[in-house]
A = this chain, B = another copy of it.
Amino acid sequence: MKLLKDKVMAEGIVLSDQVLKVDSFLNHQMDPVLMKEVGAEFTRRFGDERITKVLTIESSGIAPAIMTSLELGVPMIFARKHKSLTLRDNILVEKVYSFTKKESNEITVSKKFLSSEDRVLIIDDFLANGEAAFGLARIVEQVGASVAGIGIVIEKSFQPGAGLLNKAGYRVESLVRIASLENGAVSFVD
């Protein structure tokens, strides 16, 4: 996705060989026009998959996911990383380890919004080790629903997540694929 590549080149800050900071348009300040285009692009890629729900995880996944769900005409659900006061019973829980934060979170989704009939599109802002995406997929599968695909805004292809998800049989579509952040520079796959 050219618009997104251009944005990464213009505004992305390479903090280390592993970490790309994109807080001017994706992780803190958000560019709404770009988010709308991201939603349109995911819809082009997954539009034939008879998606019934879009599932993401708070917080940076919410904007691309709501734009995608608007285009697809289906509801969006965001998994919580922290327990909610009004979301206690009847929940689906999975443990997700964050390599970046070096901590495990229990991510939760209310049972009442997923059923075995659902075909779910998982959306997230970044894909690195794949922990969050696998956690969301396990939540979908807990209720017998299908993961119709996984849409990622920025894939760090030098980390194992995309390979592991593909190997597990999931269709992963990443809008930008980063081959390396070495020497303080972003280089893309292809």
Contact = CB atoms under 8 A, between A and B. Distances in A.
**Copies of this subunit:** 2
A30 interface: yes
Contact of A85 (B28, B100, B110): B100
What's the dominant secondary structure at chain A's contact region? mixed
B70 A33 contact: yes
A109 B73 CA distance: 32
A29 to B, nearest CB: 5
Task: State the 8 A-B residue pairs at the shortest beta-carbon distance, nearest first.
Answer: A32-B70, A58-B59, A62-B62, A32-B69, A63-B66, A29-B113, A21-B86, A29-B77
A100 to B, nearest CB: 6
B32 A66 contact: yes
A171 interface: no
A27 B101 contact: no
Interface string A95-114: 00000110000000110110
Contacts of A138: none
B23 A75 contact: no
A35 interface: yes
A117 B67 CA distance: 29
B75 A29 contact: yes
9 contacts: A15-B86, A19-B86, A24-B112, A27-B84, A27-B86, A33-B70, A35-B66, A59-B59, A62-B63
A182 interface: no
A61 to B, nearest CB: 9
Contact of A59 (B27, B31, B80, B100): B80
